[in-house]
Chains A and B, each alone.
Chain A
């Protein structure tokens, strides 16, 4: 029995393993074009997604839906003769995993860019790397105001309305319809929740917000926060939460016998997802009725609005390529971002470079059209996405939008204005230029 150690061998093993790793690492595909991730017939994007972990319910459907939409486009000839490929990897909504996954996508898989990287706490950890490597970082799946900085982060672009814009529009609605009521805010303790809180505070006087309680994603007991909001006497509860925390918060409210008017950010209210979670957590005793009547907002047509031609298109693609997932707001989101990316690639033309794609969004991004109800804000300095939302409510387990789209800027005091341009009809096949 030899118990003492043999470090010389440790070394040899380490070296051998390093060489094995090197062999594995050099297998990435080389491209004929001068841009990484582009060949004569394909363009490859990478993404980090919460396929497992606390944010997975609902959000794990987004990237497969985008991939399904790309399959649909590819079957219709692709974009400028190239097929779009999406490699998405699981980061479990865990920032330290995101760093690893994104390095692997960029350095090993040699992707053209990162598309739809999901989450505020996750994606903030790779923005520096992507910008220093000059990798296009397109349409982050998060409304954090932190993507909206074209001068310091020229490669990074948001897509959905930033949380401050959303908070302002929700806040104005509360001011008009619930004036004098005490408001409690339940929010995720990062730039997502804080951005929304800031927007609400911009519209409501400080005294009407009686309690603002943060939660940490991953900590599943939220009863302390909800009972603090309850005991502060809040009559309106505003959630800046991911779906699982909307469900946990509503279950805690239910247990405490607390029934405020619920208001939820559009990222945390998809009724199919939240209803499913409520059903699972309560072992079938509760469901969408716990979020019935909740006020929210939307910048895309409601996924249950089957008369909308965009929803009809997305449902058709969903039935053909993504049938294992339910058709809900997450699937719609994934397809809508995919449409925007395809439109950008179409505008960028046949000779693709990373720089050219970024320039297209800077110069022509504000003209992009698609399923959105409001316009994009893109310019070389503004890298935030949609510039507003429309108010909505959960009625009969579905989101119903009302009152018409509203647009504003995130800066404090910027006015909220109605937006009346009509949504364009989707093209018969593929992507239309704006």
Chain B
């Protein structure tokens, strides 16, 4: 009896080590790939890469919350604002260094997430959506209300992050920003990759699938859900802090309700519950607006029509994408891959 238990323990430890090792390897590969990509890209594409990377941070957190723990949040744009203003105040007013400021912004947002998460455990479905929606609508108004601290609509401006002199003076600022955002994204990737495969990840899935069954198994449902919210909020806070560093600005205009809604749209469009889906979602958030703008400008329409076209095209893309790939881009890619494999196999068979 005890021998079996001991063997089971050893087995578990080995799997744990394996997950950790795989996570580390993955993080290293990701960092290397991002480094190579940033070197190949032009300055503006580096800036877009940096934007995509901070969006990846928040989307990865949100997809864990919604896809894994089954809670919906329409308030992640506001959580990003918490991180962004935290970082802007710490860097701009308190003159903190970059890394501690970003860490503190993440921690502050995690605390806000704890409060929000504690309330969220008592709410379900549309009520939870409503509560987080209220948060998204209300929070940016604080910047106007306390404009002497938060700068009102004008926002808070921070100085651009100076690349270390050891890297040479020719390093473009945009590439350095992409590296900073890339470091954040790799940390998020590593953390969430491990979390998903840990006992906590399993607990979250259990709670998502059947709360009563999960609590009968001895899981504390409220605690698991709150933890998911805290992790997700921390990711959003880091994303907000990175946004401040990349744009050198925290202003309410960046965190309107539409941001929260488009974050949720992006994880659904990308493929709910998967980190790959989060990467697709980030790409959509960054690239789609400029593509729709270019498409709108390519027709010679009157200014009034063409300036409102991007939004219409965006809506059209959403409708078409959801009709074509109901389980998101990643779902479409998977289905396509499966069909391709089946085709190859049948050819071989024939």
Contacts and interface: CB of A to CB of B under 8 A. Distances in A.
Interface string B41-55: 111110111011000
A364 B42 CA distance: 37
Contacts of A51: 303, 307
B37 A18 contact: yes
A379 B275 CA distance: 56
Interface string B162-176: 000000000000100
A3 B49 CA distance: 27
A305 B275 CA distance: 63
A96 B283 CA distance: 18
A19 B248 contact: no
Interface residues of A, number: 55
A265 interface: no
A264 to B, nearest CB: 20
A283 to B, nearest CB: 20
B303 A89 contact: no
A7 interface: yes
Contact of B42 (A25, A129, A217): A25
8 contacts: A5-B192, A14-B279, A17-B279, A103-B174, A128-B160, A189-B144, A189-B152, A214-B152
Given A7-B275, A26-B42, A216-B153, A15 B37 contact: yes
B308 to A, nearest CB: 6
B102 interface: no
B290 A104 contact: yes
A19 B249 contact: no
Interface residues of B, number: 64
B154 A19 contact: no
Contact of B41 (A22, A56, A94): A22
Given A128-B160, A189-B154, A324 B249 contact: no
Given A9-B276, A125-B249, A324 B41 contact: no
A189 B34 CA distance: 41
Interface of A: 2-11, 13-15, 17-19, 21-22, 24-26, 51-52, 56, 60-61, 64, 89-90, 92, 94-97, 99-100, 103-104, 107-108, 121, 124-125, 128-129, 189-191, 214, 216-219, 324-325
Instruction: Give 3 closest A-B pairs by Cβ, nearest first.
Output: A96-B254, A51-B307, A107-B44
Interface stretch (B5-13, B25-33, B105-113): B25-33
Interface in B39-91: 40-45, 47-49, 51-52, 56, 67-68
A95 B280 CA distance: 26
B157 to A, nearest CB: 7
B45 A22 contact: yes
A21 B307 contact: no
Contacts of A94: 251, 253-254
Nearest to A52: B307
Contacts of B47: 100, 103, 107
A61 B307 CA distance: 12
